[in-house]
Structure 1
Amino acid sequence: MASKIQGSADFDEQFLTCPVCMLHFRDPRVLPCLHTFCRECLQEWATKQQPLECPTCRTQVSLPDQGVDGLRTNFYVNNLLDFAAVKEGVGPGVPCQVCEGTKKGARSWCVQCAVLLCESCTNTHRRFPAMKGHQIVTQENLEASEGVPSSFQRKAFCPKHEDQVLTFYCEPCQTLVCVACTVVNHSRGDKHNPVEIGSVAERKKRDLQKLLAKVEPREKDVRDTLNEVDRELSQLPTSADAAIEQATGYFDQLMALLQDRKKEVVQQIDSNRQEAGKCLETQKEAIEFELTGLTSASEFCKQALKHGSDVHVIEVEGQARQRVEELMTTPSDLTARPSQVVFSEGTAVAEFRDDVARAGCVHVKVKVDASKCSVEIKPAVEGFSNVSLLSTVDKNGHLCSVLKDDVTDTLTNPSGQAVPTQLQEKGRGLWEISYTPEVTGNHRLEVKVNGGSVAGSPFDVRVQSRVTPVLTIGREGDEEGELNLPRDVAVDMDGNIAVVEWGNKRVQIFDARTGQSLRCFPVDGWSPWGIDMDSNGQFVLTFGNYPTGNQAIRVYSREGKLIKTLKPDCLWNPRGVAVLQDGRMVVADIRQHSCLLLQPDGSLIRDIGKEQLRDPRFIAVDESLDLLFVTDCEAHRVFVFDLEGQLKFMFGEQGRNEGKLYYPSGITVDPAGNIIVVNWFNRRLLQVFGPDGTYLRTVATVTGGDPRGIALTPDNHIAVTCDRGCCVELYRYK
């Protein structure tokens, strides 16, 4: 850093020095990137390269039509240069620049004329009418001030009226004007609105303060990361040397067999060190470039706010904002980079003879902050494979990979016995810890990364019975999060649960993991019943209320806006609905005793199950097999048709034991083609049947009253609407 100018605490020599010629600025001009250079230096630089790049940050610059002369002058740098010259020039033995020292030495400085004056010339200068408004700074004022006086600024004169000072700002034109301009060229009207520059400057100062508030936090982060990269660079040789020493010690035990491999590994370590060094050097260079831009922008805003006049602030604010926005939209990557080269033994010496080809393992480690890593515990069910999700992050909270050997997880059941776990990386910094608990109750999961405990570890893992709901959503009521006679359920494109409420006449969407209500929207019409999603993520609902004439099919957007209403003549009293990928719909109609295959516009394609179905309620479609599954409540059966209307088979026998159907209602099909059905009455069994209707197993006995519609979630839970229970219950499926 250059030495301070004598008597000034506000700026230093480097700030007044052109980075190209390394001399004091001569006619300083500001580039769009906010770096300042001499006008002559920029002109010479522009002749050497096209397109022009900033000599400091290498940002490409588009010059105005006037070339370098069209760039803005850095007024506050000129003011500081003036002040530096005055500080050094005002004093004994320095001649007056008007009378050339024929009277006495210089004692003051005219800011507007930029000349040193002796006392006599100062008095004469003040008597001229044209110079009465000039700012005179005396030697006493300069000696008394610790820094640059705020009044030490050249006045800006109008380019059209050279004797007039710029005192107004025409906002529609975004131009500084003088008093004469407000009369001649910018008189107040529809196209012009000149206002005093003071109020405009205050607003621009506030804007610069906002820009400064944006820059400074990022500047701090970049500076901190740069320091961290420097530390990592300094530590890189140490870690690499340690790795080499460890590798050498390991291979000394296998010298007879592994001499060649030893040299190969050492070379690999050195190669990794060079690659890691290049990676860090590249990041450092990018960060230094950004820091240069951020620092100059920050310094530019600070100096403009501190030393700039109202005119200058108005002129530079827009340029400063443009530069800051450029910097903030193209930030450099501050995430952690490979910083250490380490060596691991792999297999023990006694077991290593047959694995010579795979001997040694070299990798570059990123430092992981175990205290900032997290684990998401999901509800667990006995006898099912369950997972918890681990995220490994660095000190900045960014996801980063670690070696599998650096992660340890231990799960114990309520008796303290270990439960086997399996760790698998699913993506950069994302891990699945899977386990199959065999007993219910509170289990404990301890997770460590690099020997340090993850925040919150050990975790409580509550393992429920397979017949107990993993999650119960809602309770009776009409507030958000409450339910009133929920009839059907569907899963939207985000994996959330959408429930249609007959009592509240609305659709409510819940988070399938937490049960939290996300949003809801009202629906038009009486008796909303069935719900499904089309391929565009829109909600398709059926409304029955025969014989009032209110039966309809309505389509709503994801946000709950009514898109269209369909009232086909064939529709009498609809219940469940299934939407095909091409937009066709299948609707169960209990009044028609059939299922209706409809075009997207509601026109009838065909009746399915006429004179075969008695009380069709809910529908599921397996398009891969071109099959339609319908629950018939009164027949206590499931009917299976193809979409041409042909009955393929039916299954079910009335009864209250497992494997029997007793007023079946909701139905869905899993990816393997198995059929899931829930009974409405009696034991309310939730059961699974094979693709041919053979009974496979019972998932649970639904605890809520009157189970209706069901849906299978992406994470393998079955959502069941409980009409009388006014809730939705989720059961683990597999």
Structure 2
Amino acid sequence: MAAAALPTKTTCEISQELIECPICLERFIDPKILNCHHSFCQKCLQKLVDNQNPKTGFIICPVCKEKTKIPDKGVSALLNSFFLSSLIDDVINSEGPNQRPKSESSKCRKHTDQELCFHCDTCDLLVCLKCAVLDHQAHTLIEITECVKSLRQAVTAELMKFDECRKQFQKVDVSIKHSGRRLQLMVDRTLAEILAKEEEEVAKLRNASRLLRERVTEIGQERVKEFKSIRISNQDKMSVGKEIVASVNDLMQQADNFELLDLRPKVMHNLDFHKELQFQTVQHSRSFIGFKGHDVVTDADLGEILEEEKWEVKAEFGKEGEGEGEFEWASDVACFSNGDIVVCDHERQLLSTFTSKGSYKSTGVQSGTEDGKLKQPFDVAVTSDDLLLVIDGQDVKLYDRELRYIRQFRPSQNQVEGQSELSGIAVDKKDRIAVADCERKVISLHNMDGSIISTIHHDDIAYRLSVSSKERLIFINYVKLKLVCVDFIRNEVFNISTSIDGKPVNPNGVCCDDAGDIYVVVHCGGKVGTCEIHHYDASGEHIGCVARGLYNPGGITFTPTGDLIVTDRNSVKILHRV
């Protein structure tokens, strides 16, 4: 065995400074750590405690004056400083046997001329040779060196267990931080949804108020017109009566007696008009109009807080066929920022667009060139500025929201026909395009103009691909039953087998939410009608089942409002949280 290198003067000086107790200024013996991270000998701390008021429940650090609570079991229960103990051992070993001070405790107290050389496991006691012969003949004796070796091995084993605990802590801590970030995203989104609902309801109230005000005005105008018409009619009748009265008065004043007697029948007949003079009245109730408000907004009306994540199908559209809004094989789906849905039909080799509620809008693409026509569309994705990316054979084609052709690029420029098969496409928030090639077992990252950023090789690359907000690529392998995550610099984050309750399931679609959680379409036993959607966290831990009883799902994505859209062979389902 090679001799240990002698320590340098600098190493010795640093070591001596580090291994001396600030209280006794001697090398640490059983060093303990306070909350402030300063270390002291156990016996020195015990003296501090013994010299202070017994009712005091803490130790004041002699260096920084910070308080540390005394454990219920006393000073001995404080944390051990394994680092200092190890450092002291290293310094003692580096000093060599000639410089190592003899410990007074290495001599047997009973036989003071004898060195302690055994550990009696039966009595848990260090003994010398004479003690072993005279007092411990039937006991289990182990040489001190072997005992220390066994102790070190046991300590090492325990430290390894602690290391596993540390790794588990880090994993749990990462999971908690992820959950915290996801919670904040969900809080922000929920607050935005509540405000949007508030504005929607306020808009409804304002519209209802406007309609009511318009109706009140209309009723008022109709009744005013009615009142005016009646008044005019009454006034006309009164005018006729006044004219008759005026004529009779004139006659009575100007005619002589003979004329009046001669005209008496006519005069009296004219004066009978008042018997037929009837004025139209208005019901007093017609002068009233008022308003009774309804309790249109209550807690139940506006909405409720969802504290558990549960999903159900909100809408479904499409059926098997070749007509408008029908599918032969809806292979993938994407969503524009306005909520419009675009569905790729691999069998019919076309794209169809629908509203956010599933109402059919249009089918096909508008292309002025042969390049813009679709030949083998399979996967689709949407960029932040609503450009539609479509895998079409060996090319990635770009269309606008009206499905007008823009341009295209080929990820594998130097590959001959048959050596490349594009099998998945995704885009991140920075509009970096990820394209999976299951034939070459590579994912290529591209800028929007198609220029290459980097390539990532992995043996499990197959169909379907997603990208999370953490610059991670998540992909599945239906045959190998794999869910894999790698980062943009080629590090594998996790690689897990997809199984539910111990039973293997085939993953067939994948997407991520804004927080990085993963949603996977799985085929259970390869049987149609029994497929499900499952939820995993960002570290690959299985969270639970989102939906069951799907027919034959494949492509899956999120809407801008947080709903899930999944293609189900001949239909498309929209799921929302309830």
Higher relative contact order (CA closer than 8 Å, sequence separation 6+): 2
TM-score range, shorter chain: 0.3 to 0.5
- TM-score relative to the length of structure 2: 0.45
- TM-score relative to the length of structure 1: 0.36
More helix per residue: 2
